Amino acid sequence: MDNSNITAVIEAILFASGEPIEEEKLSEAASVTKQELDEAIERLKDKYSAEDSAITLLKLENAYQLAAKEEFAPYIKAALEIKKNSALSPAAMEALTIVAYNQPVTKGFVEQVRGVDSSGVVNSLVEKGLLAEAGRLDLPGRPIAYKTTDVFLRAFKLSSVKDLPELPEQKEQITFDELLENEEKAQEE
How sure is the predictor about 173, in pLDDT bands with cuts at 50, 70 and 90? low
Question: Within a 13 Å sphere around the CA of 11, how many CA atoms are in the beta-carbon half?
Answer: 17
pLDDT value of position 163: 87
Model confidence at 179: pLDDT above 80:
no
| Mean pLDDT along residues 77-84 | 70
Closest CA to 83 of 93, 91, 74, 94: 74
**pLDDT tens, 111-157?**
988 889 888 999 999 998 899 999 998 888 889 999 999 989 988 88
Model confidence at 62: pLDDT above 60:
yes
| Better pLDDT: 2 or 55 | 55
Model confidence at 84: pLDDT above 60:
no
Q: Are 131 and 147 in contact (CB under 8 A)?
A: yes
Model confidence at 50: pLDDT above 90:
no
Q: Give strand ranges (E) for the chain.
A: 21-22, 55-60, 63-68, 105-106, 131-136, 144-148
pLDDT value of position 12: 93
Model confidence at 83: pLDDT above 80:
no
pLDDT value of position 157: 86
pLDDT value of position 95: 93
How sure is the predictor about 182, in pLDDT bands with cuts at 50, 70 and 90? confident
Model confidence at 7: pLDDT above 80:
yes
DSSP at 167:
P
- Measured CA to CA, the distance from residue 153 to residue 31 in angstroms comes to 28
How sure is the predictor about 171, in pLDDT bands with cuts at 50, 70 and 90? low
- Compute the Cα dihedral for 147, 98, 155, 60 and give only its sign: negative
Averaged pLDDT of the chain: 86
How sure is the predictor about 86, in pLDDT bands with cuts at 50, 70 and 90? low
